[in-house]
Amino acid sequence: MEKNIGSVDKAIRIVVGIALLSLLFLLEGDARWWGLIGIGPILTVVLGWCPAYTLIGVNTGKTKQS
């Protein structure tokens, strides 16, 4: 797995992930479980790799230049 997420992308994903996870505490009933979707963006930040970016050929991280 080659890292394909840059620093700006990581910051955005952390904010979105935390915002989604906060739905667990802000909403009531069955709708609150939608907040678990926030695990996805946070997991991609931890791994530094996004499977969707791999499929479409995007790389927002630093590239090695020779």
Q: What is the pLDDT of residue 65?
A: 61
**pLDDT for position 2:** 87
- Which pLDDT value is given to residue 20? 96
Q: Is the pLDDT assigned to residue 66 strictly greater than 60?
A: no
Cα 39–3–58 angle (5° rounding)? 90
- The confidence score (pLDDT) of residue 62 equals 81
| Helical residues (DSSP H) of 1-66, grouped into ranges | 7-21, 23-26, 39-47, 51-56
Question: What pLDDT, in 10s, does the model give residues 2-60?
Answer: 899 999 999 999 999 999 999 999 999 999 999 999 999 999 999 999 999 999 999 99
Query: Rounded to two decimals, what is the model's pTM?
Result: 0.85
